[in-house]
Amino acid sequence: MRHAVRIFRAEALKQHRRVFGSKLVIFSMLVWPLLTLAQSYYTLRPLAAAPGIAERWPLAADPERLLAFLATGTLGFTFFFSLVQSAWHFTFERQTGTLELLFLSPASRLVVVVANGFGALVQNTWLFACFAVAGFTLLDVVRVAHPGMYAVVFLAMLVPAVAWGALLNSLLIFSRDAAFLYTLLDDPMWFAAGVRLPTFALPGWLRAAGSVLPLTGSLVVVRGALLDGRGAGELAGELAALALLSAVMLLTAMMALRLGEARAQRTGRLGFF
Amino acid sequence: MTVAWATLRRSWLVTRRAYPWSYFIGTLLLGVFTMGVAYLGLRAVAGDQVPAEFAGRVGTADYLGYIAVGAAAYMFVVHGILWIGKAMIQEQREGTMGALVVAPARRLPYLLGFAAFAFTAVALEVAVLLGFALLLGVRPAATGAVDAVLAVAGLALAVFGMSVVLSNVMIVAGEAHITQNTVFQAVAVLSGFTFPRDYLPEALRWLGELIPVTAAMDVIRGVFTGGTGLDPARLGVAVLIALGYAAAGLLTMPWAERRAMERSF
């Protein structure tokens, strides 16, 4: 256990030093999410004035609550996309040859990929998360059933996000081209996970595709708890599904690491890029 | 002219043979999903009714048509900047900037060659996106062929002017990722691609006036969605600001190149 904690700390510290090298990081942490939020809010705002919207989507009838809905979406997307970014950065380890060194070391592979994701997550999201919390307080839109729900909301974003990061990172043991992950999981992810629209607006096949993305489940819990005031009991089904999904992602990550390493040992391709 | 033509040919060759699809797919997805959200939002959330308030602001009740034109124009801008603005930093990264600096080729035709490449490539993309829009039942129409050509030319000039300045910023900063994404996001909000700009707070509206693309977008709107025709005054503003940007960019380019070269040694 102490071994794992030390690897975890080292990997997270490495992330911190890498990401915080320049002040420009403020752009990806705060400015981009804010501008995206403004754009999606103004694009959807005309629809909020549609007659009869209160029956179809009560939340959108009030511009402030629509903004809060989109802000939770942006927050969730920032969480999960920062892990896509971290996985993309993981390929630089391959290019600089440190990925091979990592696999020569006795460090537990799973701990390394989990720590890598966790480090990136904390680095990249704390600023926008603080901003979002301040925004919710100012708009006065949050209705929680119980103060403990804040902890539930936090965990419902953190745990699946870390598992998701571990999965993406472990897949890169196989692939030499990570840029495709970036393209594949940027726009399609926000679209299928209901970041800018409620999931009932999506067609069935798209909802089915989105349901395998952990972001979808996280957003249901976050919005249910913060904006609709639902308690842990009411969200139990969603929470259980998220826990299951996280476990599956972690198991897949472990398997991918094992298979990938065995293959790399056989073919010697870990050093190629 | 020779330089521009050679650059255009080279860019097409390189793109066809080496890295064909990543920008294409990336920007196309952005356009398609922007339209997708608007479509689903209108169907499921607004119950197929465009509120009168929106129609009053933009002069048309065709919400989807409004978004389709905006998404296509946004794609045009993003793709233009990705190619023209990044041309120099690409040379720098590949190590050929030194050769370019000593070559007897002038920068303006070189960048114009890239512009010609970008605009021919993006024409394909816009065609695909508009095809998608047709599937969703959108029928954007111009007020006239001459109006349409002038409006698109205005937007192209605006993109070119911005790209020349950005090109300098990128090689001086030695960085493209943060610069380009910040510009894309800022332009998306300030220039009113997917929503009327009068939703924005007044300070932001004025800030938008500093970007040539904003005035060019107003012209595009008049021709393709509002049905009010070409607005010569706004087109004039767009052309003037764009030429100002291009001139400022070309004048400071020798300095920027010097800085970039010095740093690389």
Distance (Å, whole) CA A187 – CA A193: 10
- Is A273 contained in some domain? no
Taken as a whole, chain B contains a residue count of 265
Helix (H), strand (E) counts: chain A: 13, 0
pLDDT for the residue B54:
85
Span A197-212, pLDDT tens digits: 888 888 889 889 888 8
Encoded amino acid at A52, one letter: G
DSSP secondary structure letter of residue B42: I
Q: How confident is the model at residue A3 (pLDDT cuts 50, 70, 90)?
A: confident
Say if CB B249 and CB B191 are below 8 A apart: no
Q: Do B29 and A47 touch (CB under 8 A)?
A: no
pLDDT for the residue A272:
67
pLDDT for the residue A21:
65
Q: Do B54 and A28 touch (CB under 8 A)?
A: no
pLDDT for the residue A182:
74
Q: Do B37 and A43 touch (CB under 8 A)?
A: yes
Q: Which residues lie closer than 8 Å to B83 by C-beta, 6 or more apart? A: B11, B23, B114, B115, B117, B118, B121
A134: left (phi over 0), alpha (psi -120 to 50) or beta: alpha
Q: Do A188 and B33 touch (CB under 8 A)?
A: yes
Q: Do B188 and A45 touch (CB under 8 A)?
A: no
Report the pLDDT averaged over residues A104-113: 87
Mapped onto helix, strand or coil, the DSSP state of residue A191 is: helix
Q: Which residue has the tokens 């602001």?
A: B57
Distance (Å, whole) CA A199 – CA A216: 9
In chain A, residues with a C-beta closer than 8 Å to the C-beta of B24 are: none
DSSP secondary structure letter of residue A201: G
Among A159, A177, A178, A126, which Cα is nearest to A15's?
A: A126
pLDDT for the residue A97:
79
Q: How confident is the model at residue A13 (pLDDT cuts 50, 70, 90)?
A: confident
Give percent above pLDDT 70 in chain A.
96
Encoded amino acid at B55, one letter: A
Q: With an 8 Å Cβ cutoff, is B33 touching chain A?
A: yes
- Is A272 contained in some domain? no
Number of domains present in the structure of chain A: 1
Q: Which domain holds residue B170?
A: 1-264
Q: Do B185 and A35 touch (CB under 8 A)?
A: yes
- Please determine, for residue A47, whether its predicted confidence score (pLDDT) is greater than 80: yes
The H or E element containing residue A260 is: helix A236-267
Say if CB B135 and CB B25 are below 8 A apart: no
Say if CB B238 and CB B158 are below 8 A apart: yes
Number of domains present in the structure of chain B: 1
Distance (Å, whole) CA B257 – CA B92: 10
Give the A window 46-75 contacts with B, CB below 8 Å.
Answer: 46-47, 49-53, 56-57, 60
pLDDT for the residue B20:
54
* B61: closest chain A residue by CA: A46
Q: How confident is the model at residue A156 (pLDDT cuts 50, 70, 90)?
A: very high
In chain A, residues with a C-beta closer than 8 Å to the C-beta of B189 are: 35, 38-39, 42
- Is A10 contained in some domain? yes
Q: With an 8 Å Cβ cutoff, is B30 touching chain A?
A: yes
Of B22, B33, B194, nearest to A39 by CB-CB distance is B194
Give the A window 174-233 contacts with B, CB below 8 Å.
Answer: 179, 183, 186-188, 190-191, 196-198, 200-203
Encoded amino acid at A110, one letter: L
Distance (Å, whole) CA B216 – CA B196: 14
Q: Do B182 and A31 touch (CB under 8 A)?
A: yes
Neighbours of A110 (CB within 10 A): 18
**Mean pLDDT, all residues of chain A:** 85
- Please determine, for residue A273, whether its predicted confidence score (pLDDT) is greater than 80: no
pLDDT for the residue B125:
86
Spans of chain B below 70 pLDDT: 18-22, 264-265
Q: Do B194 and A201 touch (CB under 8 A)?
A: no
Give the rounded distance of the alpha carbon of B15 from its chain centre: 19
Of B37, B186, B194, nearest to A191 by CB-CB distance is B37
Of A35, A39, A53, nearest to B46 by CB-CB distance is A53
- Is A141 contained in some domain? yes
Q: Is the ipTM of this complex over 0.90?
A: no
Helices (H), chain A: 2-19, 25-26, 32-48, 53-56, 63-96, 98-104, 109-139, 148-171, 179-185, 187-192, 204-211, 214-226, 236-267
Span B135-165, pLDDT tens digits: 888 887 778 889 999 999 999 999 999 999 9
pLDDT for the residue B244:
96
Q: Which residues lie closer than 8 Å to B186 by C-beta, 6 or more apart? A: A35
Distance (Å, whole) CA A255 – CA A273: 22
Token pair of B246, please? 């291009």
- Is A257 contained in some domain? yes
Q: Which domain holds residue A244?
A: 1-267
Cα–Cα separations (whole angstroms), residue B138 to A211, A223, B31, B68: 29, 33, 14, 8
pTM of the predicted structure, to 2 decimals: 0.87
Mutate to test the interface with A, among B62, B189, B190 (most CBs of A within 10 A): B189
In chain B, residues with a C-beta closer than 8 Å to the C-beta of A40 are: 37
Span A84-101, pLDDT tens digits: 888 888 777 877 878 888
Mutate to test the interface with B, among A34, A39, A81, A177 (most CBs of B within 10 A): A39
